[in-house]
Amino acid sequence: RSFSSQTDGEARVTRVLREEFPRASAIKVVDISGGCGAMYEIHIESEEFREKRTVQQHQMVNQALSEEIKSMHGLRIFTSTPKP
């Protein structure tokens, strides 16, 4: 799916993540609830995650999306750091 065909929810979540993680080299947000915005899968690769445990990385993402999460049923988070 091209960037222009993102749902409103995907675009909103992507925008928040871009603001919160300015050093992210890759952000991918997919509505996995069939377009209703109830559940998202997020893949984010960012230098900000370096030297942090996975649980800490996921807490950073949850914190960044604290407002958006209130209207979601679920969230799958995949975080990584850019390969050197």
1: in domain: no
Q: What is the CATH number of the domain that holds 14?
A: 3.30.300.90
Is 71 among the domain residues?
yes
Report the number of distinct structural domains present in the chain.
1
pLDDT at 60: 97
In a domain, residue 21? The reply is yes
Fill in the amino acid letter for 68: E
Tens place of pLDDT for every residue, the chain, 84 residues? Answer: 444 578 899 999 999 999 999 999 999 999 999 878 899 999 999 999 999 999 999 999 999 999 999 999 999 999 999 988
CB-based contacts of 7: which residues, under 8 Å, 6+ apart? 31, 35, 37
3 assigned to some structural domain = no
Residue 39 lies in a domain: yes
C-alpha–C-alpha distance, residues 53 and 51, integer Å:
7
Domain membership of residue 46 as a residue range: 8-80
- The one-letter code for the residue type at 41 is E
